[in-house]
Chains A and B, each alone.
Chain A
């Protein structure tokens, strides 16, 4: 009966009640959304770096290197020579090393040249089909399969660069041989192919790219970088690092971070390259290697050591002992033209960067919750004052003081529960919308949308407690109401 009166009292003042409810729902939504987002970010960030102790890549921002190679988010820093990287990949302290080559995409999904070891790292096997075994074969992530409408046997041509629009490598088409199960990780959004595919594609297409290379260079977001692998020999190394020093924008067409040729050399050189690409190849590669990279991936995923001037984007390294983590970065950063970035450090840096933004939002959320509690306080103080005759009447009709206390607290409780529930639904709705709009663009998957964590419960409990605390003073006033005086003054 008391609950019923409390509910009716709230309905009797719909505007006030709605205001309180809205404030509560908004504050709850902000706080719960924040919790879900940071949980998701943490999960995504930490799951991805599992088993990666060090990332070897071109010089540039270490955070960028981690983002591009581990999270597949940012543009790569540039390319490195496989031969140079192999010195470290085969180091006795290294347990496993996975080479990566980025550069092309399909419908905005990155095509990642790598070895089957990449799949082993995430312990995933194709849910359909098989692992790629030859050049131009791809295994696609679950999201790619779903959104790009690809299935086993589908053929498609990659787009140059990581943007949705760009030059399409029409002359080479990939064939889907495997589809991965959904993992909730970045791998869902990837198209995996042997390193050889990337090299194959960018080798005969040389002359085409040359023609519009100037144009590409000027693109601000020209994140395309190409492995021109076999085309470039030592004589044709170019330094394309632009004055702005941003390696990724400088990346443009050719990453030859290790060379130091003047810029104006390059078109001549490339033209020459295009003309006698195959000659160069034959000159510098053993025939067996040539065949191999055209047709087959070595079974062990090990890239042939003879690939003297093949380029890759990054190498994910897992050490045998943590000790190596101390020596390796210095060894690489000081003695080579490559850089070594430690994912754990960069992730911490990233989280502290995002942390301050989240902190502001969190303060805002609690401020809103405080406002909501204040509005409940005002509503109940005013309400118990206006309705003091009603309260006295209830007492005179035989309801005890406890029931009056309960009545006022119930009003706050009903509002708080409705507000928290509304806020919860609101937060999930906005996360869902975020997923539809924003996350898709960043190729993020938001998993466990409806999951309720302990932190969610604690936040909800804190808001509930704040509301009840706000109701405590008016409730005690109702409890201590002098009914005789109140009724006599009626």
Chain B
């Protein structure tokens, strides 16, 4: 589903980062851990095409994303990649429901309202769809952002520290939820985190140093 070869990134200040090759198939989970400052978020942005690598190859769903222009990358990302952030960001002026439908609307897919209802029900937020994002609790926001990442059925799910702000109990619950959703959708799930609690849940894991 996704693999990288000799991936490298050069910061504008000249610092070089080299990443180990990695691979993740559909329905599988790859945990990428490391201490703060080793370039976890940079790696995630590279994988999402938000940053351009200085060398190496990223292949997602059989496509090398290296040659993509910014516009083509945006479109490709909208179609194939769902991202879950540590802090959940929403369009404050839209309701939760509208926010969840955004990726589909932006990718010009037909509004998957039925799908939205299913996902919202699975994540236990179907009662919150008409609320404004600011009215949701932290945990609800996190679940809503997972729902949003899932809505356009991406083949690749990228999660950036999805559990950092959660307590132990919720941490495991969210991790399992993510894995379960990825499994159901046959999506590859990459979790970038420094949260060592997740190592107990996922066996497939790469340590950055």
Binding site for B on A (CB under 8 A): 1, 5, 8-9, 11-12, 387, 389-390, 392-403, 483-484, 487-488, 490
What's the nearest-Cβ distance from chain A to residue B8, in Å?
A: 16
B45 touches A484 (CB 8 A): yes
Q: Count B-side interface residues using an 8 Å CB cutoff.
A: 31
Q: Does B97 contact A (CB under 8 A)?
A: no
Within 8 Å CB of B48, what residues of A?
Answer: 396
* A to B CB contacts below 8 Å, 18 in the list: A5-B94, A8-B93, A9-B93, A12-B92, A390-B90, A393-B91, A394-B91, A396-B50, A397-B102, A398-B77, A401-B71, A484-B45, A484-B51, A487-B45, A487-B85, A488-B41, A490-B85, A490-B86
B46-93 residues with Cβ-Cβ distance < 8 A to A are 48, 50-51, 70-71, 74-79, 83, 85-87, 89-93
What's the nearest-Cβ distance from chain A to residue B167, in Å?
A: 21
* 8 A-B pairs with the lowest CB-CB distances in the bound complex, closest first: A398-B78, A12-B93, A8-B93, A484-B50, A399-B106, A484-B45, A400-B74, A1-B105
Within 8 Å CB of A8, what residues of B?
Answer: 91, 93-94, 98
The digit string for B169-204, where 1 denotes a CB below 8 A from any CB of A, is 000000000000000000000000000000000000
A1 touches B106 (CB 8 A): yes
Within 8 Å CB of A490, what residues of B?
Answer: 85-87, 89
A399 touches B78 (CB 8 A): yes
Q: How far is the CA of A8 from the CA of B92 in the complex (A)?
A: 9
Q: Does B162 contact A (CB under 8 A)?
A: no
A390 touches B51 (CB 8 A): no
Chain B residue with minimal CB distance to A398?
B78
Within 8 Å CB of A400, what residues of B?
Answer: 70-71, 74-75
What's the nearest-Cβ distance from chain A to residue B11, in Å?
A: 11
Within 8 Å CB of B45, what residues of A?
Answer: 484, 487-488
What's the nearest-Cβ distance from chain A to residue B5, in Å?
A: 21
Q: How far is the CA of A8 from the CA of B78 in the complex (A)?
A: 22
Q: How far is the CA of A461 from the CA of B85 in the complex (A)?
A: 43
A390 touches B78 (CB 8 A): no
Within 8 Å CB of B206, what residues of A?
Answer: none
Q: Does B38 contact A (CB under 8 A)?
A: no
A397 touches B78 (CB 8 A): yes
* Residue among B70, B92, B93, B103 making CB contact with A397, cutoff 8 Å: B103
Chain B residue with minimal CB distance to A483?
B50
- Residue pairs across A and B with CB atoms within 8 Å: the count is 78
Q: How far is the CA of A11 from the CA of B92 in the complex (A)?
A: 11
DSSP class of A's interface residues: helix, strand, loop or mixed?
helix
B91 touches A403 (CB 8 A): no
What's the nearest-Cβ distance from chain A to residue B72, in Å?
A: 9
Q: Does B107 contact A (CB under 8 A)?
A: yes
A401 touches B70 (CB 8 A): yes
Q: How far is the CA of A325 from the CA of B70 in the complex (A)?
A: 75
Chain A residue with minimal CB distance to B78?
A398
What's the nearest-Cβ distance from chain B to residue A140, in Å?
A: 61
What's the nearest-Cβ distance from chain B to residue A5, in Å?
A: 6
What's the nearest-Cβ distance from chain B to residue A402, in Å?
A: 7
Interface centre among A12, A387, A395, A484 (most CB of B within 10 A): A484
Q: How far is the CA of A392 from the CA of B48 in the complex (A)?
A: 13
What's the nearest-Cβ distance from chain B to residue A488, in Å?
A: 5
A390 touches B92 (CB 8 A): yes
The digit string for B105-147, where 1 denotes a CB below 8 A from any CB of A, is 1110000000000000000000000000000000000000000
What's the nearest-Cβ distance from chain B to residue A53, in Å?
A: 66
Chain B residue with minimal CB distance to A11?
B93
A390 touches B50 (CB 8 A): no
* Residue among A1, A389, A390, A396 making CB contact with B83, cutoff 8 Å: A396
Contact flag A399-B93 (CB < 8 Å), given A484-B45, A490-B86: no
Contact flag A398-B50 (CB < 8 Å), given A8-B93, A390-B92: no
* Residue among A5, A389, A393, A398 making CB contact with B75, cutoff 8 Å: A398
B94 touches A403 (CB 8 A): no
Within 8 Å CB of B70, what residues of A?
Answer: 400-401
Within 8 Å CB of A484, what residues of B?
Answer: 42, 45, 50-51
What's the nearest-Cβ distance from chain A to residue B156, in Å?
A: 13
Within 8 Å CB of B89, what residues of A?
Answer: 389-390, 392-393, 490
What's the nearest-Cβ distance from chain A to residue B66, in Å?
A: 16
Q: How far is the CA of A42 from the CA of B189 in the complex (A)?
A: 74
* Residue among A11, A390, A397, A401 making CB contact with B106, cutoff 8 Å: A397
